Amino acid sequence: MNERPGDVLISIIIATYNAGQHLRECLQSVKSQTAKEIEVVIVDGGSTDDTMTIVKESGLPLIKWVSEPDKGIYDALNKGVAMASGNWVYFLGSDDRLLPGFSELAAHLNDDHTIYYGNSTGFSTDGPVEYPLLQGSFSEYRLAKYCMNHQSIIYPKSVFRKYAYDLRYKVLADYALNLLVWGDHSFKKQHYPVTVVLYNMTGFSSGNKDKQFLKDKLQLIRKGMGWWMYLRMLLKRYKKKLLRQKDLWAPED
């Protein structure tokens, strides 16, 4: 582990496993930020490729790492939070790229009970992809309907004194956490219209379903946002079911 002393504003946590083909560009995108006092925390699952060589040779002024087996991405992110020295926490995929908007968003951090977030842009093998559902401000109702991109969020570390990623959810533990946090009115939420990250739309979550999360989603909404939002989403689900049944029995043209 390599660590230099200093006041750390933001800890960027990156979970890796055999990520060598992407990681160098990811770390370079961090290195190019104008925001100062950024710490990078690498939580590696015991890579056998050149991941750790890239980490050790990154040249980042503030970086720490661990490389050992873990229980998956969200276990690694929970470990990263425990290792983080910053007052703020940000999660970045090893195949994502920070944009200049990250530093713009970081310049607004001033209240340790406010969650700050911006916008994100995806990319696939065909190039950049704009996904309107991930842009703009998220109310509780909008979040109950759609998962937001957690790479667009800078959390105060105080969030993780109350919450952690639930390892029952292998793919959407970030969505589960946000459903709880957005309903927690002890934390304000502040959106700024800056694009902070270019994220890989062909990553782990794109090709895997989280059956446990889908089973539990309504109860997470009830727990985080209360009975009114739970009943509202239950009614919405019931209406969708009726529409599917209507389409099933509709006469053919």
Instruction: Show the beta-strand stretches assigned E in 58-102.
Output: 63-67, 88-91, 97-98
Task: Grade residue 28 by pLDDT with cuts at 50, 70 and 90.
Answer: very high
Average pLDDT, integer, range 22-30 = 96
Does 3.90.550.10 match the CATH number of domain 10-249? yes
Which residue is listed with tokens 């310049």? 107
Q: Residues 69, 88, 189, 97: what is their CA dihedral angle, to the nearest 10 degrees?
A: -60
Express each pLDDT in 194-228 by its tens digit.
Answer: 999 999 877 555 558 899 999 999 999 999 999 99
- CA 183 to chain CA centroid, Å, is 17
Amino acid letter, residue 123: F
Look at residues 164, 192, 158, 161 and name the one whose alpha carbon lies nearest to residue 180. 164
Domain ranges of the chain: 10-249
Residue 153 has pLDDT above 90, yes or no: yes
Q: Is the per-residue pLDDT at 55 higher than 70?
A: yes
**The dihedral of CA 17, 22, 27, 33: what is its sign?**
negative
User: For residues 108 and 112, what is the distance between their CA atoms, to the nearest angstrom?
Assistant: 11
Asked if the model's pLDDT at residue 191 lies above 70, the reply is yes
Structure tokens at 245: 């049944």
Question: Within 10 Å of residue 11's Cβ, how many Cβ atoms?
Answer: 23
Under DSSP, is residue 63 helix (H, G, I), strand (E, B) or coil?
strand
Q: Which residues contact 31 (CB under 8 A, 6 or more apart)?
A: 58, 59, 60
Question: Residue 193, Cβ neighbours under 10 Å: how many?
Answer: 11
Which pLDDT does position 3 carry in this prediction?
A: 42
Average pLDDT over residues 15-23: 95
Beta strands in the chain (DSSP E): 10-16, 38-44, 63-67, 88-91, 97-98, 114-124, 127-129, 153-156, 188-200
Per residue in 92-148, pLDDT tens? 999 999 999 999 999 999 999 999 999 999 877 666 677 777 789 999 999 999 999
To the nearest whole percent, how much of the chain has pLDDT over 70? 89
Q: What is the band of 253 on the pLDDT scale with cuts at 50, 70, 90?
A: very low
pLDDT at site 179: 98
> Can you tell me whether residue 60 is helix, strand or coil?
coil
Burial code (b: 16+ CB inside 10 Å, e: under 16) for 125-162 equals eeeeeeeeebbeebebeebbeebbbbbbbbbbbbbbee
Taking a C-beta distance cutoff of 8 angstroms, is the pair 105, 197 a contact? no
Q: Answer with the residue of higher pLDDT: 111 or 240.
A: 111
